[in-house]
């Protein structure tokens, strides 16, 4: 009986991962959705115990009212108005961007993008009453003196044993979490290859 020698994984190591990667990329394009993470002021409680964490203390500030036209690109104007608000630097002032039922999700998203462009970190969406977006001044006192604090960590030495090091398990979890779908296909190909190789070796030892 003529013996047939099998070289475990020699051909499969090259072909199988490539096939998995190729056919994995032929998947149907999935629908992509995007969401925005925005903080909403809490609703005022009946006993008004959470008054300071709501929008109510800021509601009666001096706001410049700007009507947001539906589906109209006015980003440059909105950004310039926000920067002018920052430059004036007046207490208890802001801009009230008026939104109504005719405005779309795109108008709201564009306004948030304008806030980011103008580097306006303080704003609030009054979902409870008006449904308007408010850009609020972050007042900076021009006469405030910078306070100096003692540097408690200056000239300190951090030894190597004080630095947290990831364990092998943590490194493995991090690697798997950041792995792309193509990487999963390649790993599955190698696992399939490994099982075939082990099975062939087992068959060889049984025959011998």
Q: What is the DSSP string of 11-52?
A: THHHHHHHHHHHHHTTSPPPP---------PPPPPTT-TTGG
Sign of the CA dihedral with 150 first, then 154, 156, and 160 last: positive
Kindly state the tokens that stand for 30.
Answer: 């999935």
Query: Which of left, alpha, beta for 126 (phi over 0: left; psi -120 to 50: alpha)?
Result: beta
Of the listed ranges 26-40, 74-88, 124-138, the least confidently predicted one is: 26-40
Eight-state DSSP code of residue 148 = P
To the nearest 10 degrees (0 to 180), the angle between helices 105-117 and 75-88 is 40
Tens-place pLDDT, residues 9-66: 555 556 666 665 665 555 444 445 566 666 677 777 788 888 888 888 999 999 999 9
User: How many Cα neighbours within 13 Å face the side chain of 204?
Assistant: 12
With CA atoms as reference, report the closest residue to 139 among 94, 173, 185: 94
* Sheet architecture: strand order including 133-136: 62-67, 93-98, 133-136, 123-125
Percent of the chain that is helix, strand, coil (3-state, to 5): 40, 10, 50
CA quadruple 90, 93, 99, 105: dihedral, nearest 10: 60
Task: Please give the distance of CA 40 from its chain centroid, rounded to a whole number.
Answer: 18
Which band of pLDDT confidence, cut at 50, 70 and 90, is reported for residue 136?
Answer: very high
∠ CA(79), CA(84), CA(87), 5° rounding?
130
Average pLDDT over residues 131-138: 93
What CA–CA distance (Å, rounded) separates 75 from 114? Answer: 6
Q: What pLDDT was estimated at residue 3?
A: 47
67 membership: H or E segment, kind and range: strand 62-67
- Which residues are within 8 A (CB) of 204 and not within 5 positions of it... i.e. 6 or more apart? 6
Tens-place pLDDT, residues 146-179: 666 666 666 665 555 444 566 767 776 776 677 6
């Amino acid at each position: 009986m003529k013996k047939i020698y099998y070289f475990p994984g020699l051909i499969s190591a090259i072909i199988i991962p490539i096939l998995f990667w190729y056919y994995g990329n032929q998947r149907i394009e999935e629908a992509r959705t995007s969401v925005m993470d925005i903080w909403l002021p809490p609703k005022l409680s009946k006993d008004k115990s959470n008054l300071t964490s709501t929008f109510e203390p800021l509601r009666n500030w001096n706001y410049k009212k700007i009507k947001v036209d539906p589906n109209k690109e006015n980003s440059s104007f909105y950004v310039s108005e926000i920067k002018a608000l920052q430059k004036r630097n007046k207490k208890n002032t802001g801009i009230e961007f008026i939104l109504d039922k005719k405005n779309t999700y795109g108008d709201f998203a564009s306004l948030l993008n304008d806030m980011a462009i103008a580097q306006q970190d303080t704003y609030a969406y009054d979902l409870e009453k008006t449904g308007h977006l408010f850009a609020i001044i972050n007042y900076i006192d021009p006469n405030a003196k910078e306070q100096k604090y003692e540097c408690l960590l200056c000239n300190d030495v951090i030894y190597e044993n004080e630095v947290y090091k990831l364990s092998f398990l943590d490194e493995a979890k991090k690697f798997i979490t950041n792995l792309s779908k193509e990487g999963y296909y390649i790993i599955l190909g190698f696992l399939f290859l490994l099982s075939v190789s082990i099975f062939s070796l087992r068959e060889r030892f049984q025959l011998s």
